[in-house]
Amino acid sequence: HYRCRSAFKLLEIDDKLCVLRPGLSVLDCGAAPGAWSQVAVERVNALGTDPSVPMGFVLGVDLLRISPLEGAVFLSETDIADPSTLRAIQSLLPLGKADVILSDMAPNATGIKELDHQKLINLCLGLLDISQSILKPKGTMLCKFWDGSEARLLQNRLKEQFQDVRTIKPQASRKDSAESYYLARLYRGK
Ligand code: SAM
């Protein structure tokens, strides 16, 4: 029932590393068509399906249109890199803050590996900038990157701001050899 096979990557990461749990507020960047948001809605109990645990919240953002999903709020046709997007996100998140920022964003690939790599690293660095305004202390950021010369730079920036940073290569990603994720936990905040 997932909108896209990418759901299995998040399920695999979450089963192993417990990123999502009932009651958390999640910002899902690059959310279209919505499979990660489906997983997040289930795991944070955004629909209140289980009344015995806290109810979470899911906000998805994408350049593309995202079909409505019960339990999630979407900012469609929205560029995460646009300066006005931060305010829109803050106004939709409960108390303006997220416990978890997910990014499965990917720029339109040009086919020039180094260029695509740099574009995606820049998207992640931009997201790290806005996380200063929206991520709660001790929060988590999970972001996709394509391997290449600047990956270390992103990793180092994450290490400055999070106590625990690891690289993850889900089984479900194995076909796409250049794709990995950084899981950064325990945000130091300001
Ligand atoms: N995780 C999604 C799912 O499970 O349904 C799949 C995400 S897809 C691999 C990558 C998405 O990133 C695309 O839908 C693309 O439009 C989005 N994206 C790329 N650059 C973006 C940006 N600057 N702002 C918002 N979304 C962006």
63-115, pLDDT tens digit by residue?
A: 999 999 999 999 999 999 999 999 999 999 999 999 999 999 999 989 899 99
Residue (of 107, 181, 186) closest to 143 by Cα position:
181
28-75, pLDDT tens digit by residue?
A: 999 999 999 999 999 999 999 999 999 999 999 999 999 999 999 999
Residue bearing tokens 């790599």: 117
Q: How far is the CA of 53 from the centre of ligand 1 (A)?
A: 30
Q: How far is the CA of 68 from the centre of ligand 1 (A)?
A: 16
Rounded to an integer, the average pLDDT of 143-158 is 97
Q: Which residues of 26-54 are buried (b: 16+ CB within 10 A; e: fewer)?
A: bbbbbbbbbbbbbbbbbbbbbeeeeeeee
Q: How many Cα atoms are found within 13 Å in the side-chain-facing hemisphere of 105?
A: 31
144 belongs to the catalytic site? yes
Catalytic residue from among 144, 169, 175, 190: 144
| Coil/strand/helix, residue 12 | helix
